[in-house]
Amino acid sequence: MATKTVKGRTVDEAVQKALDELNVKKDQLMYNVIEEPQKGFLGLFGGKPAVIEVRVKPKTEDVAGSFLLKTAELMGLSVTIEQQRDGKYVALNLVTSENADQGKLIGKKGQTLDSLEHLTNLVVANQDTSDTSRIRLNAGGYREKREETLRQLALRISQKAHTTKEKVVLEPMSARERKVIHTTLADSQIVTTESKGNGSKRHVVVEPVK
């Protein structure tokens, strides 16, 4: 939003006028004092009001959306963004007209989508936004499909570990995907799960209960 100049007898009055005119809360407003108020001669003549320059802090979803649209354009993709607030998160779903383009956004096993989400949250964190919501990024429902795939994998692996009486080491996964495995098997009576390894090699080990 463009800046706006507001005057008042005091800085506090000018700030309140800005809040009323813009219909926002105080923590959503940014302002700089351009001129301090000055009393006139004998407190009556020649006084000057306080002058402040104000603007409304951008919303998290607006900052994120702007970054993602520019990034998609640089990738040669045309996207639209669907958004929804979910508690302390802002869920953004990137939609493309072509399935092939959607694949470019997602990447192998969601790696491109994960990277975009990480970068978007860094961009938002470096902006003075009106709230502290974090971004959750999706593309064409990929997250839900991937989570269901992981849940089915977890159930199959738990049966394998139980039948063979041997632990099963899964391939490295992101923290988000490891959480799906752990959560799916959290109440299992036949196996336990544990994350092992460091960095990009961190993985889940499914071990039969002895």
| Co-location of 29 and 90 in the same domain | no
CATH of the domain at 40: 3.30.30
Residue 36 is predicted with a pLDDT of: 87
| Co-location of 64 and 124 in the same domain | yes
Tens-digit pLDDT profile for residues 50-81: 898 988 888 899 999 999 999 999 999 989 99
| Co-location of 49 and 73 in the same domain | no
CATH of the domain at 160: 3.30.1370.50
- Domain span at residue 41 reads 4-56
| Co-location of 18 and 72 in the same domain | no
What is the pairing mode between strands 134-139 and 50-56? unpaired
CATH of the domain at 92: 3.30.300.20
The pLDDT > 70 percentage for the chain reads 95
Residue with tokens 């959750």: 136
| Co-location of 120 and 70 in the same domain | yes
Domain final residue, candidates 140, 168, 184: 140
Domain final residue, candidates 25, 40, 56: 56
Residue 44 has pLDDT above 60, yes or no: no
Residue 202 is predicted with a pLDDT of: 95
| Co-location of 27 and 80 in the same domain | no
Residue 164 is predicted with a pLDDT of: 96
Residue 3 is predicted with a pLDDT of: 80
| Co-location of 101 and 74 in the same domain | yes
- Report the sign of the C-alpha dihedral through residues 177, 74, 135, 65, in that order: negative
| Co-location of 66 and 115 in the same domain | yes
In this prediction, residue 30 has a pLDDT band, given cuts at 50, 70 and 90, of confident
Tens-digit pLDDT profile for residues 87-113: 889 999 999 877 778 889 999 889 999
- Report the sign of the C-alpha dihedral through residues 185, 186, 190, 196, in that order: positive
Residue 80 is predicted with a pLDDT of: 92
Q: How many domains does the chain have?
A: 3
The β-bridge partners of 92 are: 83, 137
Residue with tokens 């979803």: 61
Average pLDDT for residues 21-40, to the nearest whole number? 84
Residue 42 is predicted with a pLDDT of: 57
Tens-digit pLDDT profile for residues 186-197: 999 999 999 999
Q: What average pLDDT is seen over the chain?
A: 90
Domain final residue, candidates 95, 120, 140: 140
| Co-location of 68 and 108 in the same domain | yes
Average pLDDT for residues 22-41, to the nearest whole number? 83
The β-bridge partners of 49 are: none
The two three-digit tokens of residue 198, written as one number = 């460091």
Residue 1 is predicted with a pLDDT of: 54
